[in-house]
């Protein structure tokens, strides 16, 4: 699979996948045929890296899919895209989950330092030496490709938590360091879902028969997974995460862009096209903070995708708008970059809960308090997030209405 971190490649992958996005996807999506399979995993889109980086947007993916398939035929694929929106909206209303994940991860890393037995078990897992053949193959695949099939992610997380009995936050951290689509909301909440913390008391136990069945198409045949925990209890935690009311920015108006402004591109909004700006900015500022996702080192693929997405996005925006592009490095103040270009306002694509917000928000907040920030939030996010109050069903039952509200019909 060609995971070039450019908008052009994301759109090309979307076009390649489109014919399969209807019933074929619904019927075959659970199979993990491995990276070497013929057709290189044509049963799933593998669009998540471009979606996470904002090189392509969920609305244009949905629009393209509905242009080729009826809403009924594409129901399953559309629902999966809404899972991503749901998780974003859910974390937005419970940002404490992310903060506690970070604290728990740091605590887990410190526990490894203090306990040789734990350290050995962790090293065996991350180096693919557990003796559980399937798990060891996935660790290698994660590190060598930066991508795992959804089913493999579920099995992996389940074995990590219930069979290897390792801290779920250390597994989530391993994913964040290596996945090229690493996303604070989808990753943290999916690990919590497997553990039985998202839907309280309902966990996901990986079964060898299920793994063998859905990995039968892999080169070398089905993956073996012996010795898995069969009757582990779901995890539990003392915290109750109360929902916080969403505090979304108002929709922008043409007057917001009347004066010259700068456009900020960041790790979750690396391209200008999905942002559909009404006016050209006078300056493009790129802020890459991928390293903030973990205290550990990033995998080669994850680092290269993030870096390439932003560098390409900055260059393409500068060319499209006929302006210059500058980097805003970590630790550097933002205001002098604006002053040097003679602009006072900056358009900032919404910073969702996660490491990008943690890394950028303090400097942005200082400008926002002076009324100098125009926050950009897409219509689909704005419309969907308020429904992500509890379970996915709250969003699922609104999908048709949300598509209609946002004018996504496949007619364009
Ligand atoms: C433990 C675990 C960790 C995960 N970590 C991440 C992560 O860091 N980043 C990430 O983007 N996804 C994550 N996922 C969700 C899912 O596995 C990936 O989005 C999906 O595998 C991406 O492959 P795809 O693009 O081929 O998906 P497709 O099956 O083609 O689906 C289309 C799109 O829908 C969205 N989507 C599909 N399944 C899910 C799902 N279960 N949850 C949320 N969105 C979904 C993605 O944006 C995806 O690109 C995780 C799942 C698990 C179980």
- Buried residues in 219-251 as b, exposed as e (16+ CB within 10 A): eeebbebeebeeeeebbeeeeebeeeeeeeeee
Contact (CB, 8 A) for 145 and 2: no
> In angstroms, what CA-CA distances link 169 with 100, 103, 120, 202, 226?
10, 9, 17, 18, 24
Beta bridge mates, 375: 348
Q: How many angstroms is it from 119 CA to the middle of ligand 1?
A: 29
Nearest CA, atom 43, ligand 1: 84
Task: Encode pLDDT of 139-187 as tens digits.
Answer: 999 999 999 999 999 999 999 999 999 999 999 999 999 999 999 999 9
Q: How many angstroms is it from 95 CA to the middle of ligand 1?
A: 20
In this predicted structure, what is the pLDDT of residue 37?
64
Cβ neighbour number for residue 397 with a 10 Å cutoff: 10
Task: Encode pLDDT of 197-207 as tens digits.
Answer: 999 999 999 99
Q: Which residue has the tokens 């690396």?
A: 270
Whether pLDDT at 245 is above 70: yes
Tokens of 44: 């799933």
Sequence-distant (6+) residues with CB within 8 A of 143 are 178, 299
Question: Which residues' Cβ are closer than 6 Å to ligand 1?
Answer: 29, 44-48, 51-52, 80-81, 83-84, 87, 150, 153-154, 157, 175, 179, 181-183, 186-187, 190-191, 194
Tell me how far apart the alpha carbons of residues 113 and 303 are, in angstroms, rounded to a whole number.
25
In this predicted structure, what is the pLDDT of residue 177?
98
Q: Give the pLDDT band of residue 410 (cuts 50, 70, 90).
A: confident
Which stretch of DSSP H or E encloses residue 28?
helix 23-28
The residue-averaged pLDDT of 243-247 equals 94
Q: How many angstroms is it from 32 CA to the middle of ligand 1?
A: 13
Q: How many angstroms is it from 323 CA to the middle of ligand 1?
A: 35
In this predicted structure, what is the pLDDT of residue 38?
61
Mutate to test the pocket of ligand 1, among 3, 50, 84, 197 (most ligand atoms within 8 A of CB): 84
Could you identify the atom of ligand 1 that is nearest to the CA of residue 45? 30
Contact (CB, 8 A) for 133 and 225: yes
Q: Is 2 exposed, middle or buried (0-12, 13-18, 19+ CB in 10 A)?
A: exposed
Sequence-distant (6+) residues with CB within 8 A of 26 are 73, 75, 76, 77
Q: Do the bridges between strand 283-287 and strand 324-327 make them parallel or antiparallel, or are there none, so unpaired?
A: parallel
Q: How many angstroms is it from 150 CA to the middle of ligand 1?
A: 6
Q: Which residue has the tokens 């801290």?
A: 167
**CA-wise closest residue to 344 among 256, 227, 219, 267:** 256
Q: How many angstroms is it from 154 CA to the middle of ligand 1?
A: 10
**Helices 168-178 and 133-145 sit at what angle, rounded to 10 degrees?**
40
Tell me how far apart the alpha carbons of residues 407 and 386 are, in angstroms, rounded to a whole number.
18
Tokens of 5: 């971190």
Nearest CA, atom 5, ligand 1: 187
Tell me how far apart the alpha carbons of residues 67 and 79 are, in angstroms, rounded to a whole number.
16
Distance of CA 42 to the CA centre of its chain: 20
Tell me how far apart the alpha carbons of residues 360 and 286 are, in angstroms, rounded to a whole number.
11
Contact (CB, 8 A) for 183 and 122: no
Whether pLDDT at 380 is above 70: yes
Contact (CB, 8 A) for 102 and 111: no
Domains belonging to the chain, first-starting first, are: 7-93+385-405 (1.25.40), 98-214 (1.10.579.10), 255-377 (3.40.50.620)
Whether pLDDT at 412 is above 90: no
| pLDDT averaged over every residue in the chain | 96
The residue-averaged pLDDT of 89-113 equals 98
Nearest 5 degrees, angle CA 22-CA 199-CA 72? 15
Handedness of CA 276, 308, 358, 259 (dihedral sign): negative
Sequence-distant (6+) residues with CB within 8 A of 167 are 104, 108, 111
The residue-averaged pLDDT of 275-292 equals 96
């Amino acid at each position: 699979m060609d995971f070039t971190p450019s908008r052009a490649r994301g759109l090309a992958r979307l076009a390649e996948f489109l014919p399969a996005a209807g019933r074929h996807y619904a019927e075959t999506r659970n199979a993990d045929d491995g990276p070497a399979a013929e057709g290189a995993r044509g049963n799933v889109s593998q669009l998540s890296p471009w979606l996470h980086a904002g090189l392509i947007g969920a609305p244009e993916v949905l629009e393209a899919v509905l242009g080729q398939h009826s809403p009924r035929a594409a129901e399953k694929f559309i629902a999966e895209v809404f899972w991503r929106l749901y998780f974003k909206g859910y974390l937005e209303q419970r940002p404490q989950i992310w903060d506690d994940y970070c604290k728990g991860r740091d605590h887990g890393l410190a526990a490894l330092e203090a306990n040789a037995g734990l350290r050995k078990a962790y090293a065996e897992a991350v180096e693919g030496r557990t003796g559980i053949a399937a798990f060891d193959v996935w660790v290698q695949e994660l590190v060598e490709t930066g991508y795992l099939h959804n089913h493999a992610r579920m099995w992996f997380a389940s074995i990590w938590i219930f069979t290897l009995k390792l801290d779920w936050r250390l597994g989530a951290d391993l994913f964040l360091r290596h996945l090229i689509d690493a996303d604070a909301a989808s990753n943290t909440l999916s690990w919590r879902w497997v553990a039985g913390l998202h839907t309280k008391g309902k966990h996901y136990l990986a079964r060898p028969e299920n793994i063998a069945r859905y990995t039968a198409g892999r080169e070398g045949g089905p993956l073996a997974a012996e010795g898995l925990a069969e009757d582990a209890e779901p995890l539990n935690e003392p915290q109750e995460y109360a929902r916080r009311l969403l505090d979304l920015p108002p929709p922008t108006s043409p007057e917001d862009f009347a004066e010259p402004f700068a456009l900020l591109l960041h790790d979750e909004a690396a391209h200008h096209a999905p942002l559909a700006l009404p006016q050209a900015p006078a300056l493009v500022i790129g802020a890459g903070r991928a390293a903030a996702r973990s205290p550990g080192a990033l995998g080669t693929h994850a680092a290269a995708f993030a870096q390439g997405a932003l560098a390409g996005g900055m260059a393409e925006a500068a060319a499209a708008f006929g302006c210059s592009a500058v980097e805003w490095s970590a630790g550097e103040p933002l205001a002098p970059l604006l002053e040097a270009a003679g602009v006072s306002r900056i358009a900032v694509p919404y910073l969702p809960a996660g490491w990008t917000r943690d890394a950028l928000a303090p400097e942005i907040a200082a400008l926002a308090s002076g009324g100098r920030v125009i926050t950009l939030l897409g219509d689909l996010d704005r419309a969907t997030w308020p429904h992500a109050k509890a379970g996915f069903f709250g969003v699922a039952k609104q999908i048709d209405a949300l598509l209609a509200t946002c004018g996504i019909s496949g007619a364009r």
